Structure 1
Amino acid sequence: MSKLLKVFLLSAVPVVEQRGAVPLGINIYNLEPSIVFLVSFLGSMLPVPFILLLFNKIFEWMKKYKAFNRISNFIEKKINKNSAKMEKYKEIGLITFIAIPLPTTGVWTGSAVAAFLKLDFKKSMICAAIGGIISASVLTLACIFFPTLIS
């Protein structure tokens, strides 16, 4: 598998997302930062429409079965924790939440919260893209200027 494909796929994985893909591409694989930026951004956007369209249906299905209690309770706790800020600030809150490259923030969680709050699909896609660009920019610049800190 090519290094760029690994960066692309890793950026689409929940929890890891761009936070893992950008340092991998720049600091480990020594790829061109602008290419890593673009590939990780595109990879992180891959799951967004699916999350926005399917999250609520899958989540409701999971809640019906005892086997999924632990994970559905965890998801519900995370969403409820972040939803108040999103409801108050809507698009700006969603962009900011996605843009901050910290654990439990990012495109996956932001999209899930947007779906949970039933925010507009097109606006949520645009917010995810803007937040993803900001996050990829921050991470790319951090990897360029602080490579030992981010690797």
Structure 2
Amino acid sequence: MQPNPPTPHAATVDDKGVHVTTAAGKTRTYSGGEVMTLTQVIDLAEGSATLCQFSTDACLELVDESTQLAADCEELITDITAKGVGANLIGKCELLKEQLDLQAAAAKKVYDQIQGGEEACRTASANAEIRHGAIFRAVADSPLTKPAERDFYNARS
């Protein structure tokens, strides 16, 4: 039996921790370091993946904006060169274009790294359900309310 595929969760981060809203509308806050249930691990991984997705969108916007501004600088350099404006202004425009190109490249690199992080979070979420979901549900559905006595675990067959 295959589990249902994970669904994205909304998430925000502030000084109190990561706030995750599940597809069912439940809100949980994770401050870090606490013991988590499987559901909490899956929710946190999905929330982290969603945060990564928002960050990759912002990076792509920065890449597009920087590329457009660099193209505008190139056009400005061509125009002022044709008008015979001083070399100092042309040099400053070329430096600005170079900085915009570097900014676009850096944003693209960060985009690639965050995208890898998003994929890792989604994989961790899916793997947690696949590997541990059945035992988690078995324990959650069990009528037992406390663990077995120590002798049970120490007994040898």
Q: TM-score, normalised by structure 1?
A: 0.32
Which structure carries more helix by proportion?
1
Q: TM-score, normalised by structure 2?
A: 0.31
Which structure carries more strand by proportion?
2
Which of these two proteins has the greater Rg computed from alpha carbons?
A: 2
